[in-house]
Structure 1
């Protein structure tokens, strides 16, 4: 662990979205003395898969150090690839998908047990509960088409990176229900998840507490 108390938080958004998802979290982290990198994954290009998404994140990091890689939702499939390719001090999943080495993104849904869950009520907003209406509108406006043409290919992740890892689940998540996520995290990461109040889009619903949790994870690392 570097002696420098300042981290660079590398924030990876979820599927079909943009780095804007983190725009309320980023200034809080900066106010706590950290740098922030929130890249737009190159989702629209059908030639790209999770490996190219990871490369885009790495390119955006440049020569920054003390990296804390943070992934939300579908971004969890990208984060461990990033951490396997560049020096990372901490890996944090925020209500995110956790892949197994060699597992294709398309296979996660059934292999994790998510496909066996009862379908949610179509009248219930699975993503945006707790998010102000104006932010929901803006997030939808900024949403992008993710082709997913290469999501049937095995991930290039050959082994789990040797990086301290935390998982933060959202108690009010209607898309990835807490009970399902607790089991998935224990099975795939072998750790107990931490918990926070809020729905799936926690970076928009509860950004300050999320940022403060991320900061605390950094300060709790052994020096």
Structure 2
């Protein structure tokens, strides 16, 4: 039995995938889906100021081993969820039969999440972090805004309709988050070292993405240690929410190819 392991991105929880999960189950009725909460988010309490990529990897691996102790795994990651992918693949090899990255972060070998940001954003975060003293509170991202209206266009693509906007900013999905994990090194060589053969990777590239522009995504695809199948989507950053049927087809289709 295949298990689709869904890893959310920044400022979110496993509930990010609520629109996608039933569609995966319809397309692949014999499969399981596991939408994890990364530490400090959802049902995984943790100190947002100190969470590392290794903490997140360990949490995902433990969740998978508890919920799906055997059978093949397809790992699906959105946005900053991509930072945990190499470690999770290494921790669960050889069970991982495919990886689907959706506008996901891929640092250069040994680099970090800052290397996946637009330069002005990365520099601003580096400067702010460097200015903190030992008694200053850590940098964290806020949860739901008082005024959700800016979210209607913030992620690119067609402006969110009222129902989708409410879905996105719901406190079960939009939560305070860490930035500490963006400063942690990531090594895709772990995938090569742990896997008996190439793990097929599909990258869903969101062409109208504002947080992670298409050119930056193309640069990240080029950092992967093996050739990936790239599928371009005419969507903003939140494709699994705004276009769940198309994403579900591509996830199931890519892993059956």
Q: Quick check: 25-34 or 168-177, which moved more?
A: 168-177
Tell me which residue corresponds to 1:65.
71
Q: Is the 8 A contact 2:156 2:208 kept in 1?
A: no
Q: Any stretches of 5+ residues in structure 2 without a counterpart?
A: 41-45, 122-149
CA distance in structure 2 between the partners assigned to 1:184 and 1:66 by the alignment: 26
Answer whether contact 1:7 1:218 (CA < 8 A) is retained. no
State how far apart, in whole Å, the 2-side matches of 1:199 and 1:108 are. 17
* 8 Å contact from structure 1 (residues 84, 157) kept in 2: no
SS of match in other structure, 1:125: helix
In 2, the alpha carbon distance for the partners of 1:153 and 1:182 equals: 22
C-alpha separation in 2, matches of 1:94 and 1:184: 12
| CA deviation after TM superposition for structure 1 residue 103, in Å | 1.8
The alpha-carbon deviation at position 180 of structure 1 amounts to: 2.9
Aligned equivalent of 2:11: 16
**Corresponding residue of 2:154:** 126
Structure 2 Cα separation of the partners of residues 150 and 194 of structure 1: 27
In the alignment of these two chains, the number of paired residues is: 207
Please point out which of 194, 214, 222 is paired with 2:251: 214
**Of 160-169 and 61-70, the range deviating more from structure 2:** 160-169
CA distance in 2, matches of 1:83, 1:160: 6
Q: What's the CA shift string for 1:190-214, capped at 9, x where partnerless?
A: 4452112321100110001100110
CA distance in structure 2 between the aligned counterparts of 1:31 and 1:60, rounded to whole angstroms: 23
Change (3 A) 1:123 1:77: closer
In 2, Cα distance between equivalents of 1:92 and 1:157: 15
Task: Map 1:21-40 to 2 at 5 A.
Answer: 21-32=16-27, 33=29, 34-40=31-37
TM-score scaled by structure 2? Answer: 0.72
- The 3-state SS of whatever aligns with 1:96 is coil
Under a length normalisation based on structure 1, what TM-score does the superposition of the two structures give? 0.81
In 2, the alpha carbon distance for the partners of 1:52 and 1:26 equals 25
Deviations 1:17-75 (A, max 9, x none): 11111111100111122210001111352332111111111122120421000110110
Shift of 1:157: 5.8
- What residue is the counterpart of 2:119 in the other structure? 115
Q: Indicate the residue corresponding to 2:84 in structure 1.
A: 78
Maintained 8 Å contact 2:103/2:206: yes
Note if contact 1:76-1:97 (Cα within 8 Å) is conserved in structure 2: yes
The CA RMSD measured in Å over matched residues stands at 2.5
Consecutive unaligned residues of structure 1, counting only runs of 5 or more, are 1-5
